[in-house]
Structure 1
Amino acid sequence: MPLHSLLDDTFTAADELNSVNKFKSFLDPEILEQAFEYSGVATVRRRRLPLDAVMWSVIGMSLFRNEPVWDIASKLDISLPGKNKLVAPSALVQARQRLGDEAVGRVFHMMAERTFQQEAFEQWCGLNLLAVDGVMFRAQDTQDNLTEFGCERNNHGDVVYPQIRMCSLMETSSHMLLASEFDSRQVGEMTLAQRLLSSVPDNSLTLFDKGYYSLGLLHKWRQKGEQTHWMLPARKDLQYSIKHQLNENDAIVVLKSTPQARNKFEDLPEMIEARLTSYQLDGKTYRVLSSMTDTLRYPYDDVVDVYTQRWEIEVGFREMKQGLHQAKLTLRSKKPEMVRQELWGLLLAYNLVRLVMLDAVKHTPDVAPTRLSFSLCMRQVVTFFISATIRSASKLPEHYEYLLETLRMLELPNKRPDRSYPRVVKGLPRKYPKKKNASQLN
């Protein structure tokens, strides 16, 4: 159900509702209750900072990245009435500890699953386009985080900031996150990708980076459900035999698995059929490997064009780091459980903004949700959340409709087809500044 309908149903009366009640239209109370019970944190005691208010404080840590953590609850006005209008910092710390990280992660997954079931996303050849990729986050330099997440070491053997590795599953036409898994930096992306299998929907095509080439993983992905296809760039040293040559640039091939892979994946057969497609772009030949062996349903021209959508997940990660977190590289929390809670809150905040952007373009089919400026839309959504604390509940649907009208005006200009973004390797940092020549000294 769209947010606008929920607002209409929720706020038909009662101007006395506080901000927690107003925000319930964005996070379904049923989802919150199920998540609290599932994680074992539900309680009948009514505190000044109830669990649903703490949930909004965790989300607010990403929406209000420049604000102190203890001030977010006061800014959103989500605490129940008490002697003092402001929330004590210690009260919020204790409230976050009561909530934990499992409940926030459960809310994220339940909300993402419901959104995917209710929204009509753009499809390719009858399939939803998904993408999988990994990203790293940096945690506070504390001994607990260092022990839990691990870190890299520089050339002198000195440790640097603890790092968390995340792997996410994203719907490319809307940038909505469907699932995410994260762990210490020692856990590889392949392992995290396997944990995403339970969230893969039927009738979907998942686009991988070439680093995810594993016949065991790809076979499990294809067997996960009905028409759960995959695609990734073919390695230069790919070993295969041609079963059927479709044309000079397209063939059905047979890939042979290794004994080591079959020991790791029990149901992995010795041979797997796949489709190897090659094409030329700017005089350079590219090859993609996929599970879409039905050439009638998935024509060559369509298969050649679709892999460019994989870069949408890179844009999504940039929106999270550059937009929500405003290029602040290090997370706030100093304890591992709170780090995980903060990351789940970041993903929830990102999906909430994306959900509002979906609502904004729902009745304008000519505008895709990814063509709206995420950073500008995020600022408007944050402003709406702040002003919701001082608006009457009965007027909130009207203000929400005005928010959607504002977002529709934030459309980005058309992409330049001739613009190039070549990948470059960053140079190593230098201990001393670069020496200037004589002409630069004058």
Structure 2
Amino acid sequence: MPLVQPSGRLTDHIGLGVLSARFHRDLIEEVINRTGCREKRSRRLPAHVMIRYVIAMGLYAQESAEEVMRRLVGGLRAMGSWSDDWEVPTGSAISQARRRLGVAPVRELFDRAAVPVAGSGTKGAWLARRRLMAIDGTSFVVADTSANVERFGRMGSGPAASAYPKVQVTAVVECGSRAVIGAVIGACSTGERTQAADLTPVVEPGMLLLADSGFYSFELFDRFAATGADLAWRVGASVSLGLVRWLPDGSYLALIYRPGLAAERRRRLARTVTDGGEVPADTARLVRVVDYTVPDRHPDGELITVITTIHDPHEVSGVDLATAYHERWEQESAFNEIKSDLRGRGEVVRSKTPDLVEQQMWGLLLAHYAIRALLVDAADEAGYDPDRLSFIRGLRLVRRQVTDQAAISP
């Protein structure tokens, strides 16, 4: 019995298998319309195919351009959906199609699709009805071209400069799922704190945002607190804390100060607030301070100081806050999954131009997000903590689905 050929262009039938539920065709079409990247004439590699292709690059980061495309359409011939006059495009044609697509549609798809995925019953995702989130940064090695060096720079300078240029990524991660829900990509000379200022739109009431001491500044803490989310950020010994009142659980209320205030002014403000006066919002903010040590991890007795916007110890105890703060390491695990499991340990982001580097980075983030969302769905159904499910096994499953049986998009 002859195989029935699909209607329409062959490329209309290219999909991402089990990932299509996260990046469905209607959403991709909306992104294409919003970013104005729809092709003006019929092409072998239209925009919707190239968006899927960029995500597939994240799944097969160590493969050649042609091999990624070959895997993306791998199931079509076996399913009777291969047109005999259609061949996998050359690497040059794929690169041209990527340049036509640009960065905006892939970034827009991430902004639209990457939302928190932990449900109310997801284990390890919540503290006192607050969704645990973390913010942190990392860098990725990119191809050593003059254009990439000019845009992204090298770490260090002179003889100590890194051999390859690097791109800096600062991201907000949902701790319970390890899903990245917001990111900023830029030059490695741009600090995490600078990039973090652009991530306030993804933080909202009902979240508890965790951050290491490298992120603290009065202005940035104040900016994130203004979103309505609660914060629990570590601060270093150099941060001035004006004691206001001790609390029953051993934590205490204190003032943090805008930079530039003289020591005597800070002391007067603390006394005024201790006596019941108002906190002047233009110069200070009232926080709760939790001091603790972790002897097993820091035998020398290193003091860890976390400041939080949750003032009431009856709502969240100091012990619970200290425990929750260490969930911030889920962010490190998420970065490791992207850098080692998806991209490959020690591998270079191989795109030769800055725009294609950024495009490829958004593809990596989209691929990671989709796998993490699938793992959370599976963990919730089985009643497991998502941490118990292997990311590597999830990645292998998705790769098999894309290649073997799910190349037809719904």
Structure 1 residues 206 and 291: alpha-carbon distance in aligned structure 2, compared to 1, 3 A threshold: same
Partner of 1:316: 334
The more displaced of 375-384 and 282-291 is 282-291
1:41 aligned partner, one-letter code: C
Partner of 1:36: 32
Structure 2: distance between partners of 1:206 and 1:341: 27
Partner of 1:20: 15
Partner of 2:264: none
Partner of 2:179: 176
Secondary structure, aligned partner of 2:365: helix
* CA apart distance, 1:153: 4.4
Structure 1 residues 286 and 26: alpha-carbon distance in aligned structure 2, compared to 1, 3 A threshold: closer
2:114 aligned partner, one-letter code: A
Structure 2: distance between partners of 1:356 and 1:158: 40
Q: CA RMSD in A?
A: 2.7
1:95 is the counterpart of 2:91? no
2:240 aligned partner, one-letter code: Q
Structure 2: distance between partners of 1:20 and 1:380: 16
Partner of 2:310: 292
Q: Deviations for 1:193-233, whole angstroms, at most 9, x for unmatched residues?
A: 010001112211111011111011111111113xx011122
Equivalent pair of 1:101/1:341 in contact (CA under 8 Å)? yes
1:374 is the counterpart of 2:377? no
Partner of 1:220: 223
Equivalent pair of 1:153/1:160 in contact (CA under 8 Å)? no
Equivalent pair of 2:218/2:259 in contact (CA under 8 Å)? no
* CA apart distance, 1:46: 3.5
Secondary structure, aligned partner of 1:269: coil
* CA apart distance, 1:159: 6.3
* CA apart distance, 1:89: 2.0
* CA apart distance, 1:237: 2.5
Partner of 2:149: 146
Structure 2: distance between partners of 1:146 and 1:205: 37
Partner of 1:417: none
1:187 is the counterpart of 2:190? yes
Partner of 1:83: 85
Equivalent pair of 2:130/2:207 in contact (CA under 8 Å)? yes
Equivalent pair of 1:138/1:161 in contact (CA under 8 Å)? yes
Structure 1: distance between partners of 2:5 and 2:375: 27
In structure 1, which of residues 381, 384, 389 is the aligned counterpart of residue 401 of structure 2? Answer: 384
* CA apart distance, 1:155: 5.7
Structure 2: distance between partners of 1:21 and 1:331: 22
Structure 2: distance between partners of 1:331 and 1:286: 36
Q: Deviations for 1:75-114, whole angstroms, at most 9, x for unmatched residues?
A: 211898462432222221111111111110110111113x
Secondary structure, aligned partner of 1:137: strand
In structure 2, which of residues 109, 130, 133 is the aligned counterpart of residue 130 of structure 1? Answer: 133
How many pairs align?
370
1:72 is the counterpart of 2:68? yes
The more displaced of 208-217 and 247-256 is 247-256
Structure 1 residues 194 and 154: alpha-carbon distance in aligned structure 2, compared to 1, 3 A threshold: closer
Structure 1 residues 250 and 312: alpha-carbon distance in aligned structure 2, compared to 1, 3 A threshold: same
2:292 aligned partner, one-letter code: Y
1:349 aligned partner, one-letter code: A
Partner of 2:274: none
* CA apart distance, 1:357: 1.0
* CA apart distance, 1:158: 6.1
Residue correspondence of structure 1 range 403-442 to structure 2 within 5 A: none
* CA apart distance, 1:250: 0.9
2:110 aligned partner, one-letter code: F
* CA apart distance, 1:344: 0.2
Secondary structure, aligned partner of 2:185: strand
Partner of 2:289: 276
Structure 1 residues 153 and 197: alpha-carbon distance in aligned structure 2, compared to 1, 3 A threshold: closer
1:347 is the counterpart of 2:365? yes
Identity of aligned residues (%): 24
Q: Deviations for 1:315-374, whole angstroms, at most 9, x for unmatched residues?
A: 111111110012133101000000000000000010111122122123112x11221111
Partner of 2:324: 306
Secondary structure, aligned partner of 1:252: strand
Equivalent pair of 2:379/2:389 in contact (CA under 8 Å)? no
Structure 2: distance between partners of 1:110 and 1:120: 24
* CA apart distance, 1:118: 7.8
2:15 aligned partner, one-letter code: V
Point out which structure has higher relative CO (alpha carbons under 8 A, 6+ apart): 2
Equivalent pair of 2:249/2:318 in contact (CA under 8 Å)? no
Residue correspondence of structure 1 range 204-243 to structure 2 within 5 A: 204-225=207-228, 228-243=229-244
* CA apart distance, 1:277: 1.0
2:396 aligned partner, one-letter code: R
1:137 aligned partner, one-letter code: F
Structure 1 residues 296 and 56: alpha-carbon distance in aligned structure 2, compared to 1, 3 A threshold: same
Structure 1: distance between partners of 2:156 and 2:255: 41
2:351 aligned partner, one-letter code: S
Q: Deviations for 1:160-203, whole angstroms, at most 9, x for unmatched residues?
A: 31111110000000101110001111211111101000111221
Structure 2: distance between partners of 1:306 and 1:358: 20
In structure 2, which of residues 26, 45, 50 is the aligned counterpart of residue 49 of structure 1? Answer: 45
Equivalent pair of 1:129/1:172 in contact (CA under 8 Å)? yes
Q: Deviations for 1:364-412, whole angstroms, at most 9, x for unmatched residues?
A: 12x112211111221111111101257x88xx9xxxxxxxxxxxxxxxx
* CA apart distance, 1:48: 1.9
Secondary structure, aligned partner of 1:312: helix
